Amino acid sequence: MGAYLAPKPSAQRQYALLKLRNPGGTGHVQNGRITWRWSVQPTPVSRVYQARLACDSRGRPEIFIESPNLGLLSGSRRIPHLYDQDKVRLCLYLPGTGEWTTSKVLADTVVPWTSLWLLFFEEWLWSDEWKGGGIHPPIDERKKEDIK
Amino acid sequence: MNARVLAQEKKLYLVGMLELACEKLDITDAEREMARSRYEAVGEWLSDGQNTYLANSSIYTQGSIRLRTTVRPIGRNEFDVDLICFLPGAANLGPHQVRDLVGNRLKENSTYKGMLEPHNRAWRLVYANEFHMDITPAIADPKHANGAVLVPDRELQDWKESHPKGYASWFEGITKREPGLLLEKRAIKADVEPMPSEIQFMGSLRRIVQIMKRHRDVWCSKLPAAQRDDAPISIILTTLAARAYEGCVHTRYDNALDLLLDVVDAMPRFIEQRTVYPAGLEDWIQNPMNAKENFADKWKAHPQRKVAFGQWHRQFRTDLDRLAQQQGLDAIATGLGGMLDESISKSVLAETTRRLNSNREYGRVVTGAGGLIGTALAQPASAVPKNTFYGE
């Protein structure tokens, strides 16, 4: 698999690519950790969302939506495909499948997946159905994720 | 907010959604074919009998099914299919005789007999869950040799002039004159085309008429029952829209939403105020095929119909402005649902995500500036890789 042979991009390289692909965003790299904030409007009729990417020194990304408040938009409903309803951390890929590995470029993977997630979120707000596909983990795996 | 000030990308996206809505509202090709086979069978039955007047009769479509401006009705499954049963040799018969001739022949067929309903000008055959086929008998109009007909009118107890073929070719002629629109829209600079912006109005005038008629139906369904007869009739909406559209064909548009707005805004200008002796001022919406026919002739006896036209017109324009200012696919769907019914916005969103997922499947989805999702207009940079939304 090419993915495993590809060299792991450094935090600096990941950051440079984020800036290149999303010139409107802002962020920094510190001790190998990346913080990146950018605006997302998944369709021309969509809201403009502020997203934040936090990548730890081992290259593992977490993506959050900072505004608008998705909880307020969804009322009392539980938002699908979130690791955390309060922190609004998005589930964007299936772990262990190679969809995401630390050798992949953040700007080409989790960043566009965030756009997709938000489009399906807006659709879900109206239809109450998640049309983006995906997998919900079994309960015990959910716990593991919380522990991690 | 006025819908005119919207950004171009947003207008194109909304038009794409309206086109999806119209595809849902329209009669499908299969339904159209089924209607054709049904009315051809009726035509055969009518001409197969012993009656010499009926032997030479022919059946053809009129109204929205002929204009291709049909919209799926609200609250029932049956499309209206309006037909003329033309009796070429019956010019010497009276309106009652012609009407009865067709009605009696239909009643001779045990199937048709059970489906038959008398209406003012037509005999209606109700095909449950399919169609309301309104068959209007007609004879040649001796005063006009250009295909005009006379149809029996039960309330008037007389003949009524009509020219369905002429009206349809007038409408068709205007429809064909598309403004400088569709070729221009690709000139937008973006490299990513959001779905469904790639589909724009197919036959702009027909789509505009369909949207207006559907909005009228939804608007009308919310009126108190006693006021529903006052809602503007389709021939008035269609004629005013076509006249207004005709005035737009020399303008260049970079999106069909601006064209729609121009047509809506111009429509009232084509209601003429004519001085008629001795009645005084009268509202006129002239039949383009018959200078003596006023489509708004009922407004004199029912002035509330003129008021209702104005109310509908303002509401339609206001609803378009409101739709334009919504942010979020969900808010747009709510706005669209209020205008065209929730069942329509539901299928518009479903089709939007279906197209997106199909493009995802084939690796054709890209993101552009601001995280915009779409398909690549030119050489794709790098497609969004496949992912599986995980988590609860």
Percentage of residues in chain B with pLDDT exceeding 90? 71
Q: What's the mean pLDDT in B334-353?
A: 96
Q: What is the ipTM of this complex?
A: 0.87
Assign domain A11-147 to a CATH class: alpha beta
CB atoms A123 and B353 under 8 Å? yes
User: What's the confidence (pLDDT) of residue A142?
Assistant: 46
User: What's the confidence (pLDDT) of residue B187?
Assistant: 45
Q: What is the pLDDT of residues A99-109, one digit of tens each?
A: 889 999 999 99
Rounded to a whole number of angstroms, the distance from the CA of A33 to the nearest CA of chain B is 23
Does A13 score more than 60 pLDDT?
yes
Rounded to a whole number of angstroms, the distance from the CA of B156 to the nearest CA of chain A is 51
Give this prediction's pTM: 0.91
User: What's the confidence (pLDDT) of residue B200?
Assistant: 76
**Count of A-B CB contacts under 8 Å:** 154
Q: What's the mean pLDDT in B148-155?
A: 91
Does B49 score more than 70 pLDDT?
yes
Q: What is the pLDDT of residues B360-369, one digit of tens each?
A: 998 889 888 8
User: What's the confidence (pLDDT) of residue B146?
Assistant: 81
Task: Compare CB distances from B370 to A41, A108, A131 and report the shortest one's residue.
Answer: A41
Rounded to a whole number of angstroms, the distance from the CA of B196 to the nearest CA of chain A is 10
CB atoms B387 and A109 under 8 Å? yes
CB atoms B386 and A99 under 8 Å? yes
Q: What is the pLDDT of residues A89-148, one digit of tens each?
A: 999 988 888 888 999 999 999 999 999 999 999 999 999 999 998 877 654 444 444 433
Domain residue ranges of chain A, discontinuous segments joined by +:
11-147
Confidence of residue B175 (pLDDT cuts 50, 70, 90): very high
DSSP state of A31: T
